[in-house]
Amino acid sequence: MADEPLVLGIETSCDETGVGIVRGTTLLANAVASSVDAHARFGGVVPEIASRAHLEAMVPTIERALKDAGVSARDLDGIAVTAGPGLAGALLVGVSAAKAYAYALDKPLYGVNHLASHICVDQLEHGPLPEPTMALLVSGGHSSLLLAPDITSDVRPMGATIDDAAGEAFDKIARVLNLGFPGGPVIDRLAKEGDPNAIAFPRGLTGSRDPAYDFSFSGLKTAVARWVEAKRNAGEDVPVRDVAASFQEAVVDVLTRKAVRACKDQGVDHLMIGGGVAANSRLRALAEERCERAGIRLRVPRPGLCTDNGAMVAALGAEMVARNRPASDLELSADSSLPVTDPHVPGNHDHDHDHDHLHEISKENLYS
């Protein structure tokens, strides 16, 4: 629909420079430039390398997205950007770029929450989100259960990891098994050839007195590392595929068990799963199996929309425009620890005098 908001979204919270363009809930472009190869030899993301890669990729990625969408920057109804949480330096690159484009084009700016964006992206795949939405977000930096009565203004944390995130655990176990970085895809692939019941690895925080919705993967990571070390010290071969399958099963068992429980407890008849680990094939399969058994509808975006991308930011930005949420002002700053309870950052609109002064500056100066 031509009257739906046309929004460009910028995502730079970690190592992907993502630029997406949506019209309402229709995806027009999803351009991503990843610096993951530059981090591989370090076994994890190096913030300074990520920030520099964002600087180099930003303008070309925006231009590619506009070309893919077949629109002009002047056609946009707004520009959305991840304001947090994430790596501080990486976020600053995206926020600075978004403010520059918003100012140069005289378009409203929307600083949005990375986690809320991961939920909202499902609208591009399966249509408008039910209200409330129960979401399980699992990635390298986050493992969270969230209840969202209104994705633009009301997101409530139900549970979260108290130590390692699920994706972080995948990366660390991949390092233990000498499988390289990132660990998620290779463990998923090898696990298909292994026995998920070969090794009884622990399920963290699943006792009767443990928090119902919180997660812990540090103990599991340690248990796997010690098991592998014992095998090596004994001069025995490590059954890598069985270790991968058993470890993966322990992670997805806990994730899906707690997510389904939260849905039942809160009377929500559907579950959305997002974040990079949502691309894991076993997580998808077990979630589908358990949701079907519990009478819960499962919504999982395709893998390309689960990992960090600009489309998810644009999707939430378009929802902000559609619901007439206040735009952010040009004092918007990056917040590496932005709480999920802040789906967007409207900014401080008490600085009208400062804005009047800014708008007295000729926009031609931006191109000089």
Helix (H) or strand (E) holding 153: none
Distance, in Å, from the CA atom of 64 to the CA atom of 31, rounded to the nearest integer, reads 7
Confidence of residue 292 (pLDDT cuts 50, 70, 90): very high
Distance, in Å, from the CA atom of 110 to the CA atom of 320, rounded to the nearest integer, reads 8
Q: Could you report the per-residue pLDDT of 31-49, keeping only the tens digit for each? A: 999 887 887 778 878 988 9
| pLDDT of 163 | 96
CA proximity to 75, closest of 103, 107, 98: 107
Mean pLDDT estimate for the chain: 92
353 among the known binding-site residues? no
- Provide the percentage of residues in the chain whose pLDDT is more than 70: 93
- Express the helix, strand and coil content of the chain in percent, nearest 5 each: 45, 20, 35
Q: Is the pLDDT of residue 58 over 50?
A: yes
| pLDDT of 37 | 80
265 among the known binding-site residues? no
Distance, in Å, from the CA atom of 73 to the CA atom of 104, rounded to the nearest integer, reads 10
Q: Could you report the per-residue pLDDT of 173-199, keeping only the tens digit for each? A: 999 999 999 999 999 999 999 999 999
280 among the known binding-site residues? yes
| pLDDT of 41 | 79
User: Half-sphere exposure of 190 toward its Cβ, with a 13 Å CA cutoff?
Assistant: 22
Q: Is the pLDDT of residue 261 over 80?
A: yes
What angle in degrees, to the nearest 10, is found between the helix axes of 218-233 and 166-176? 10
CA proximity to 336, closest of 3, 90, 108, 53: 90
Which CATH superfamily is 6-121+309-367 part of? ATPase, nucleotide binding domain (3.30.420.40)
126 among the known binding-site residues? no
267 among the known binding-site residues? no
- Domain pair 6-121+309-367 / 130-301, same fold: yes
| pLDDT of 209 | 95
DSSP 8-state class, residue 123: H
- The whole-model pTM stands at 0.91
CB 80 within 8 A of CB 8: yes
Average pLDDT over residues 14-27: 96
Confidence of residue 112 (pLDDT cuts 50, 70, 90): very high
51 among the known binding-site residues? no
137 among the known binding-site residues? yes
Higher pLDDT, 366 or 107: 107
Domain spanning 130-301, CATH class: alpha beta
Domain edges within the chain: 6-121+309-367, 130-301
CB 78 within 8 A of CB 320: yes
Q: Is the pLDDT of residue 2 over 80?
A: no
Q: What angle do CA 79, 107, 351 make, to 5 degrees?
A: 100
Higher pLDDT, 80 or 365: 80
329 among the known binding-site residues? no
